[in-house]
Amino acid sequence: MADLAAEDESFEAELEPALVKAETQYTAFELQAMMSGKQDAANAIVSIKPGAGGTDACDFAEILYRMYARWAQAHDFQVEEQDLEPNLEAGIQSVTFKISGPYAYGYMQSEIGVHRLVRISPFGSGDTRQTSFAAVDVVPELDDNIQIEVNEKELIMQTFCSGGPGGQHQNKTQSGVRLIHKSGVRAESRTERSQPKNYKNALDLLKSRLYAIEEQKRMGDLAQRYDSKGEIAFGSQIRSYVLQPYTLVRDERDGIDVKIPAVMQVLDGDLDEFMHAYLRYKTARQSRVAKK
């Protein structure tokens, strides 16, 4: 078509939209080619937990939840909430949800780590900046072909009331389930009214997390992702969202140089530039390791 346009200017009007379409298709193909891990094509189970920063951190955790939900909806993915613990004053104490769609885990693995927010606190009395943190973890949803055996003797089961902050919808039965593996890995579910259903959800999530740890061990990244995760506080963040005294979202990881001034656009779910940069960085790193 480009050759035809060079000979006949009437083809130029058709060339431009065709070029845009070809670039979009090529980018999608390039990104999927980078997601060659065993579970990259799987659905993603995402957990968000606030860190240092008090109520601001709880509010930030809820902002991140909304951000990922917006991103998923923009890509025609489905979001299913599996567990949510609200914070009494504002925000959430924790949330776990599933993003269903092709390569959801492949894209969302770029979000694993500590996120940092700098802004004027809406919960404070002054006008000083407040820094708060939240941790994001992502594991693949295991398909039926992968069997993870968990000995029930290695589990501690805790039950709790699974209702919200109170009122007529408060669940007064011990239907919420928390499972703690002997390794320290834990999972919980409170969204179902039935304790057996919450037990199954928690067990499925626990198996996914145990599988993810084993895969990271095999790839040699366990210390980076888990053992060295450390405190959810300053110095450990993978990304910063700065609203004061300037606006900027910046990836803090070495080898990924992405900076976007439009913070609210990112918080509304525009994460593709960060995700794509991470995938290119990860692919290049794996290529260097393979050559060695």
**CA torsion angle for 164, 61, 178, 224 (degrees, to 10)?**
180
Angle, in degrees to the nearest 10, between helices 272-291 and 12-34:
60
Domain contains 189: no
Predicted confidence at residue 227, as pLDDT, reads 43
Q: Please check whether residues 42 and 131 belong to one and the same domain.
A: yes
Contact yes or no for 116/239 (Cβ under 8 A): yes
| pLDDT value of residue 166 | 47
Residue 256 lies inside a defined structural domain of this protein: yes
* Residue 172 within a domain: no
Instruction: Report the C-alpha gap between 92 and 84 in whole angstroms.
Output: 7
Number of domains the chain is built from: 2
Quote the pLDDT of residue 57: 94
- So what's the pLDDT on residue 76? 93
Residue 161 lies in a domain: no
Q: What is the pLDDT along the chain (292 residues), one digit of tens a residue?
A: 888 888 888 888 888 888 888 888 888 788 878 887 778 889 999 999 999 888 999 999 999 999 999 999 999 999 999 888 899 889 999 999 999 999 999 999 999 999 999 999 888 766 778 899 999 999 888 766 666 777 777 777 777 776 554 444 445 566 777 778 877 777 878 777 777 888 878 877 887 877 777 766 655 554 455 444 456 666 678 999 999 889 999 999 988 999 999 999 999 999 999 999 999 888 887 776 666 6
Taking the mean position of all CA atoms in its chain, how far away is CA 254?
19
Residues 14 and 111 in one domain: no
Burial of 5 (0-12, 13-18, 19+ CB in 10 A): middle
Token pair 């991140």: residue: 64
Handedness of CA 197, 200, 206, 207 (dihedral sign): negative
pLDDT of residue 163: 59
Q: Give yes or no: residues 131 and 237 share one domain.
A: yes
Domain span at residue 117 reads 38-145+204-291
C-alpha 277 chain-centroid distance: 15
Asked whether residue 222 is domain-assigned, the answer is yes
Any idea what the CATH number is for the domain that residue 226 is in? 3.30.70.1660
In a domain, 174, yes or no: no
Q: Are residues 218 and 85 in the same domain?
A: yes
How many separate helices (H) and strands (E) can be counted in the chain? 8, 11
Query: Is residue 168, in this structure, part of any structural domain at all?
Result: no
The answer to whether residue 193 sits within a structural domain is no
Residues 44 and 26 in one domain: no
With 0-12 / 13-18 / 19 or more C-beta atoms within 10 angstroms meaning exposed / middle / buried, residue 11 is middle
Q: Does residue 15 share a domain with residue 69?
A: no
**51 in the same domain as 28:** no
What are φ and ψ of residue 229, in 5° steps? -65, -40
